Amino acid sequence: MQLISPIRPIRIPDEILSVTDILIVNETELGFLACEKTSIKDISAAAQKIKTHADQILIITLGSKGALVVENDAYLVEGLKVKAIDTVGAGDCFTGVIAAQLAQNKSLREAVEIANKAASICVTRKGAAPSMPHAREIQRNIRD
């Protein structure tokens, strides 16, 4: 399984995008890939536009609004409202937690829910690496 994120200021070559199973981007990155500005109401349509094959999954992070998962259908995994101090590293945290949860055979929905919680912890701290929560902290937060 191949996960890719983030987007650089160049287009992802079709030969890479076509073998990507899960693509994780934020709203801005989605707009870049879809070659259009996206609003919350047309994010799902923009995501469908850039899918290269039917089984491909796109996850669009929406900050405190959560994450939109676009498979055959789209569904929103609700976000958490926290006082964000620094968003640097939040996408890396989110993506890493999803990969770790999927490796533990969690469902995609559950992986995204846990990743949302982890990223919500991450943004309450300064810095990239120092803000990353430990697995025990994420588990404690899930139970709360």
Give tens-digit pLDDT for 6-63. Answer: 555 557 788 888 899 999 988 878 877 776 666 656 787 788 888 888 899 999 999 8
Indicate whether 67 pLDDT > 80: yes
- Please check whether residue 91 is in contact with residue 26, taking contact to mean a CB–CB distance below 8 angstroms: yes
Question: Of 114 and 50, which is predicted with more confidence?
Answer: 114
| 14 among known catalytic residues | no
- DSSP H or E stretch at residue 42: none
Which one of the listed residues 21, 42, 92, 144 is annotated catalytic? 92
Q: Which two tokens stand for residue 140?
A: 């404690």
Which of the four pLDDT bands, split at 50, 70 and 90, describes residue 3? Answer: low
pTM for this structure?
0.80
Can you tell me the distance from the alpha carbon of 136 to that of 6, in angstroms, rounded to the nearest whole number?
Answer: 26
- CB atoms under 10 Å from CB of 70, counted, come to 22
Pair type for strands 57-61 and 66-70: antiparallel
pLDDT of 114 reads: 94
What was the pLDDT predicted at 108? 97
Mean confidence (pLDDT) of the chain = 84
pLDDT given for residue 12 in this prediction: 76
End-to-end CA, the chain: 32
**In this structure, what token pair is assigned to residue 123?**
């943004």
How many CB atoms within 10 Å of residue 38? 21
Domains of the chain: 3-143 (3.40.1190.20)
Helices (H), the chain: 14-17, 27-34, 43-50, 90-103, 108-122, 135-143
Instruction: Give the mean model confidence (pLDDT) for residues 90-112.
Output: 95
pLDDT score for 8: 54
pLDDT band at 134 (very low <50, low <70, confident <90, very high): confident
Look up residue 31 and give its two tokens. 């707009």
Output the CA–CA distances (angstroms, integers) from residue 132 to 31, 88, 96, in the order listed: 27, 10, 10
